[in-house]
């Protein structure tokens, strides 16, 4: 396998639609097959939500991307300064450390801003990944509005 290089940086306003397309396309491959019709519909509404885009535009939603040759290949989205609401990596770039790099970048920034813990509602597909990097379950898997997830937390102590 050829090693692909990538860089991590904040997503610019004009890249928002590309980020949400990446999120949707990747969701369809890895998550949608295990979701109800309602869950797929709700995720689609999430990535198309004009309020989310507005929050991003005004700096109230953090979005950091991974780029390879100017192509966006990964994204982490954070709301309320400490809740990861989106972590997606293009399937051609899995197992290259991109998701970990995105989380590391966000956590580095979060610590500088005094954030003491991070939460995520992990998709079934990503539970093992989050456990591997130190997140612990808050509760068992739940389903809300057709979306299955496991609430998790990572303390950012020194």
124 located within any domain: no
Domain span at 36 = 7-114
- Asked if the structure places residue 139 within a domain, the reply is no
Per-residue pLDDT tens, the chain, 158 aa: give them.
445 688 999 999 999 999 999 999 999 998 888 788 998 998 999 999 999 999 999 999 999 999 998 899 999 999 999 999 999 999 989 889 999 999 999 999 999 999 999 999 998 889 999 999 999 999 999 988 888 899 999 999 75
Is 2 part of a structural domain of the chain? no
3-state secondary structure string across the chain: CCCCCCEEEECCHHHHHHHHHHHHHHHHHHCHHHCCHHHHHHHHHHHHCHHHHHHHHCCCEEEEEEEECCEEEEEEEEECCCEEEEEEECHHHCCCCHHHHHHHHHHHHHHHCCCCEEEEEECHHHHHHHHHCCCEECCCCEEECCEEEEEEEEECCC
In a domain, 110, yes or no: yes
- Give domain status of residue 130, yes or no: no
Q: Count structural domains, the chain.
A: 1
Residue 46 lies in a domain: yes
Q: What is the pTM of this model?
A: 0.90
Residue 27 inside a domain? The answer is: yes
> Residue 49's domain is classified under what CATH number?
3.40.630.30
Residue 144, domain member (yes or no):
no
């Amino acid at each position: 396998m050829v090693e692909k290089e990538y860089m991590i940086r904040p997503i610019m306003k004009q890249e928002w639609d590309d980020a949400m397309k990446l999120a949707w396309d990747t969701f369809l491959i890895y998550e949608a097959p295990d979701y109800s019709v309602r869950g797929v519909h709700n995720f689609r509404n999430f990535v198309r939500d004009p309020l989310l885009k507005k929050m991003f535009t005004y700096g109230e939603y953090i979005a950091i991307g991974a780029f390879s040759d100017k192509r966006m290949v990964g994204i982490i989205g954070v709301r309320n300064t400490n809740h990861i609401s989106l972590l997606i990596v293009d399937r051609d770039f899995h197992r290259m450390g991109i998701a970990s790099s995105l989380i590391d970048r966000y956590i580095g920034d979060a610590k500088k801003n005094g954030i003491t813990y991070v939460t995520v509602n992990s998709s079934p597909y990503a539970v093992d990944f989050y456990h591997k990097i130190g997140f612990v379950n808050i509760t068992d898997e739940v389903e809300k509005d057709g979306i299955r997830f496991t609430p998790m937390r990572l303390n950012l102590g020194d």
